A and B are shown apart, each in its own frame.
Chain A
Amino acid sequence: MSLAFLVPLFLLGIAGVVVPIIVHLTRRQRRNVVHFPSLMFLEKIPYQEQRRRRIQHWFLLSLRALALALVVAAFARPFFDQASGAALGSGGPREIVVLLDRSYSMEIDDQIEQARMEAERILTDLGPLDRASLVTFSRGADVIVRSTSDRSRLRGALDTVTVGSGATRYGPALKVAQTILEESTLALGEVYLLSDFQRNGWTGDEGVNLPPGSSLLPIEIGSEHEPDNLMVADVSLPRQIVAGRERITPTARIVRQGGSAPTTASVSLELDGREIQTREVTLTPNSAQPVQFQPFTLSQPHTTGTVRLDDQSLGADNSHHFVVSPGSSLGVLVVNGVRGSNDPSLYLRGALEISDDGRFDVRSRRSATVRPADLDGAAAVFVNDVQLDGGSAERLRTFVEDGGGLLIAVGQEGGWPASAADMLPGTIGPIEDRLQGRGGTLGYLDYAHPVFEVFSGPRSGDFTGARFYRARAFVPADSASVIARFDDGSVALAELRVGRGRVLLWTTSLDAFWNDLALQPVYLPFVHRLAEYLGGRTEALPWFVTGQVVDLADPDALETAGLVSSEAAGIAEGLDQIALSPTGNNVTLQAGDGPRYLPLEEHGFYTVRQPGTDPERPFVIAVNVDLDESNLGRVEPDELALQIEAPTVVDDGSPRLSQAVELQREDQERRQSLWRWLLVAALAVFILETAISNWVSRREAGAARAVVG
């Protein structure tokens, strides 16, 4: 340990010590100037130079010099260099990043505690000039402490680390480490990865490139053994309308990974926190079994349910949470003309009425006029093969602008009053026949559109079997979008946004006169999707997965999350919200114009309400763990390290290394802060000098008066 100076150049100021001496000796005192004709006589007088050139108060002069020296030393910022030599001898200070896995698989065999002990050991081995960061990670990465040499702060942060609910993802954590190392001024970097190294967390294309001079040091926590884990992989919640009430029959799928012998587990169903049923299931190694529970009647909104499995290995995947609410039917008005005995809406109405859960409330009107009363409770209107009058068209315009949905199927009789032509997504032309061969087909479907999105997957609905023999010519407007075309390029389905609602135009018929689509299996889901899209219905999700985020200010997102009504959740515009996490943490979401994101980081039930309220049926969001984490297969740590090993760097006296050492010196100086004490000492010396010099002056003045007297 030696005394060093951070800014030694300031020591040149020590030369200022001679200033008071020079001033004293060279008689450069400031005094009044008297202009005199000639100094001829004065210069001849042997003046008492010796008196000025003799220092009379050595002690005072020493005090002044000492004070000045202390000030100069303070500006030079001294410090005790405790370990610079040692640090340089071992290759220089290091930037250490400890990545600690807190995914829920770390709860097995208390691996999180083992990881914490390993991290503690790493912190203990830190050199005096080393800096360390603590980063915990699961699906994402959180920097708990960033690049510090404060050991106590690091240890304090380490004690707060607990197991989370997320799945393991190495990419974000390694990216964070890469960023810390790139921003570091230290030449050497070490990344300690403390994890159980689940294979699912590493895809190999994370694109991590540690900077030169840094290395990844994987530390495997726990030991690899044959996994034997049971989990609730999925729960299906089919609904039925029985006697006007909804009944749900939950079916859980239990999966066993690993194992060597058949095992029996107990599976229970809880509703609103009370256990309703229990089933026994026997599973052979690496197998799956469905467990069906007795149906229950759904009467209350936001009913919470949990399928719980009795298993000792990994707890987080042994329960599966869900939230269900009674569904509400969508009001659909079908308007069609009177064409003899033929009913052009026979197939349409039949398709809408076929559903187990009664999702559509279908009303029919055979008239060319739509009355205001007809639109009460309707969310979607199908105008099928009828020429409406102008008044009806205007009523429908108001209906659409207020958020309703309208589908116009022009058929043989269909048409639209010219007074409301701007509502249409284009101009309707004459009838065009496709009588050659087997007729036309649908050649283009916009699968990105919500209507066709569900048919985008393989075996999800085949529109190619339908034949179209006749359709209306249609010229789309510039503001309209075409979402389906026939194989000859003519428009089959076009859309126009009007106000808050939407208008779809189907250029052929919805019955079996002009095409045979109504006879195809895809007709029913197609009509259902049309009605749901027009009515703005969003399918509620019974549960989310950890890591997802819900915007509580977005009505669509809330509807997706299963919110039945804003009153039920206590949610109103302009008021704050409080979300209570499964572990009891309160998250306050400030009211405002922007989004209110609620990150779902824990598995269980999040309760959302207004501050100070306690609704009987609060808005609840169910969150389950990501089951990727339940796959306990491991990746070889060295194999992972080899894929992201950084190029090494040698100490060639590079400016970066010297700069790093300089920064460490600055850090030491800042911690010791000797300059403060030096300034205090200088101040004390100045005060002492002032007091003594005043005393000496008074004493000498008194002596002089005595001589004069």
Chain B
Amino acid sequence: MATTRARHSAAGAQFLDPAVLGRISNLELLARTVVDGFLTGLHRSPYLGFSMDFAEHRPYMPGDDIRRIDWKLYARTDRHYIKLFEADTNANFSILLDLSTSMSYGSHSLTKLDYARYLAACLAYFSNKQRDRVGLVTFDHEVVDYVPPSMKHLDTILHTLDQVTAGRPGSLAEPMLRITEMLGRKGILVVISDFYEEPDEVLRALAPLRARGHDVIVFHVMDPFELEFPFEEASGFEDLETGEQIPVIPGKLRSDYLAMVKAHLASLEKCFADNQIDYRLLDTSQPLDEALFQYLLSRERASKAR
């Protein structure tokens, strides 16, 4: 955690605290605030692969924008021609958002789901800005909402993100298989989840996506209480998804718990690394820049590889 914070300050960017973000109800405004602020802190343009390819000329018709007249061709032919370009989008960018009940947990003002929504909105806005086709899939133990990737779907995505709630148990295997079938064209997939499954199962669930040639970026969203387990009083702990309850004396279990969480995270990181999946653990108490940096790094790596 200390390492993450140091990297933020090294970047020199000042971002809004997640608690402040929670008070912005408009997701588009939120995404623009975050992304624009983020971009101003970068030293080079993040927009990669952006170009306009010439398509053809056609005779000028009254009403056409005179600024698009190819004057050089007029000089040669003494006729007015309009220069037509073919727009080029870079990639399909889809966000896979976990809506399982465990995502509704939050020890402070933001739940994990809120944090994930903000992150998804920011990524969608950012990708749309660089002319990627952005899409959204929400899931718990099955696919809940599917917004196909498109340049025109940002509003739909933001609206969908605005409406999502977590209310059902979740699992990765089934919805991932279904998403693999739905996303025909390969692209960039961002999976946002708390991954309360065994690392092997998580990897097994994401394997079909990877096999299809998608670039998969994983954001593991965790609440600080999940990472630090600061509870003191003996209490009954109830599983948000199953409702199961067990008595817990936190003081006696903390060390064991933290060790297990640490082992779990390490195992996930190793598994993803082995399968060329970018993985980043996000603490919901920290700003969103970490995720955006991770995203840019992934895109950069992908462009280099291409």
Contacts and interface: CB of A to CB of B under 8 A. Distances in A.
Contacts of A44: 260
B257 A39 contact: no
Nearest to A41: B260
B105 A35 contact: yes
Contacts of B196: 37-38, 40
A27 interface: yes
B194 interface: yes
Nearest to B231: A34
Interface in A24-50: 27, 29, 31-45, 47-48
Interface string B223-261: 100100001011111111110111110001100110011
A39 B244 contact: yes
B247 A29 contact: yes
B240 A42 contact: no
Nearest to B245: A33
Contacts of B238: 33-36
B121 to A, nearest CB: 22
Contacts of B240: 35-38
A47 B194 CA distance: 25
Given A37-B102, A39-B246, A45 B241 contact: no
Interface residues of A, number: 19
Interface string B18-38: 000000000000000000000
Contacts of A38: 102, 194, 196, 239-241
Contacts of A48: 252
B194 A31 contact: no
A47 to B, nearest CB: 7
Given A37-B105, A37-B196, A47 B264 contact: no
A32 B233 CA distance: 8
B257 to A, nearest CB: 5
A45 B102 contact: no
B108 to A, nearest CB: 14
Contacts of B246: 39, 42-43, 47
Q: Interface size bucket, B side?
A: 20 to 34
Determine chain B's interface SS by DSSP, over half rule: mixed
A626 to B, nearest CB: 91
Contacts of A47: 246-248, 253
A41 B261 CA distance: 7
A391 B102 CA distance: 119
Contacts of B253: 42, 45, 47
Given A34-B238, A37-B102, A37-B223, A42 B257 contact: yes
Q: Which one of B103, B236, B256 has the greatest number of beta carbons of chain A within 10 Å?
A: B236
A41 B259 CA distance: 10
Interface in B173-228: 194, 196, 223, 226
Interface string A623-651: 00000000000000000000000000000
Interface in B258-291: 260-261, 264
Interface in B85-143: 101-103, 105, 112
Interface in B126-182: none
Contacts of B260: 41, 44-45
B262 to A, nearest CB: 10
Contact of A39 (B103, B105, B239): B239
Contacts of B194: 37-38
A41 B236 contact: no
Interface in A1-39: 27, 29, 31-39
B269 to A, nearest CB: 17
A38 B225 CA distance: 12
Closest 7 CB pairs of A and B: A37-B102, A38-B196, A37-B105, A39-B239, A32-B235, A41-B260, A34-B235
27 contacts: A29-B247, A31-B234, A31-B235, A32-B236, A33-B235, A33-B236, A33-B237, A34-B231, A34-B235, A34-B237, A34-B238, A34-B248, A35-B105, A36-B240, A37-B101, A37-B102, A37-B103, A37-B226, A38-B194, A39-B239, A41-B257, A43-B246, A45-B253, A45-B257, A45-B260, A47-B246, A47-B247
